[in-house]
Amino acid sequence: GQLQLCLVSPSPARLSLLPYVPRVPPGALLGKVTATTFALERPCCVFDRFTNASDAVWLAVAFANASATFRNPASPADVLPYEGLPTAHAYMTLEMAAAAYACSAPGPAVLRVGGDTACGGQQGRAAYNGPLPSPGPYRVKFLVMDCHGPKAETRWSDPILLRRARSPSTIDPAPVRRSSDVVVIASILASLSAGLAVAVLGAMGAKVWGHWHRRHFGTSAFAHQSYRTHHIPPALPQPPPPGCGCCTPAPRPRGPCPAE
């Protein structure tokens, strides 16, 4: 804990309630909420008017349904430890000097709740920031304390629900079984797809075969027209008239040979 020098004086008669509400950062943030941790916005400039240099700021973490019955510790000696969460349903952590949250103080933009995994040999450490044991939901608030006790506090946050971790033993290694209806529909769609593919391929094959056949052999109609319409048989030679010594046929039939 933080060493504080404090004069003997009565505790403040009234605890100041600050209007600040802790919250998880609204924007995208890697690991913003996990199975055992969550991030909080750093409450910068929130406590300046209510704190001294020797004051400390704590974070109270409670199950959401137990936040209404949470009681602030009367003194630093009464701070609820991390190990008391299962029975007290709340604990306090992230003890920091109030100056760390001053407007002029540099620091990270977010705080990580539950980020301390070095648990060995730290039993009984009140400020231990250990992993959260269940999904929650949780509520948190900041509490300002001096050596006499609480001085100021923020409002409780909205419920913060962590992600649920899955045990490896709950994962089914077998493929997901589909219902009989789904199987039947899938079979019908597969059959329709196969039939459509065959029809398309058949039409394409017929078109290609027809094009190839026309290119090499011509269609039957074209072949018949070629030979029937444009083939003219040659004229046969006509024999000369009887008794004529001419051997060359005339272009037109000639009269009888003149008398000798």
Question: What are the residue boundaries of the structural domains of the chain, listed by start?
Answer: 16-115+126-166
Rounded to 5 degrees, what angle do the CA atoms 78, 143, 48 make? 135
pTM above 0.75, yes or no: no
CB contact at 8 A, 116 and 41? no
- The Cα–Cα gap between 3 and 181 comes to 70
DSSP strand pairing (16-17 vs 150-153): parallel
φ, ψ of residue 151 to 5 degrees: the values are: -120, -40
CB contact at 8 A, 74 and 170? no
CB contact at 8 A, 143 and 47? no
Ranges of H-type helices in the chain: 85-88, 180-216, 220-230
Residue 228: strand, helix, or coil: helix
Q: How does DSSP assign 42-95, residue by residue?
A: --TTSSGGG--TT-EEEEEEEEGGGGGG----SSGGGPPPGGGHHHHSEEEEEE
16-115+126-166: CATH topology is Immunoglobulin-like (2.60.40)
pLDDT recorded at residue 156: 98
Q: What is the pLDDT along the chain (260 residues), one digit of tens a residue?
A: 444 456 544 444 578 999 999 999 999 888 999 999 999 999 999 998 888 888 999 999 999 999 999 999 998 889 999 988 999 999 999 999 999 999 888 888 899 999 988 764 455 555 789 999 999 999 999 999 998 899 999 999 999 999 986 655 544 444 444 544 554 455 555 555 555 655 655 666 555 455 544 554 444 443 444 434 444 555 555 655 555 444 444 455 555 555 54
φ, ψ of residue 225 to 5 degrees: the values are: -65, -40
For residue 45, give both structure tokens: 């400039």
pLDDT recorded at residue 76: 87
For residue 153, give both structure tokens: 């506090």
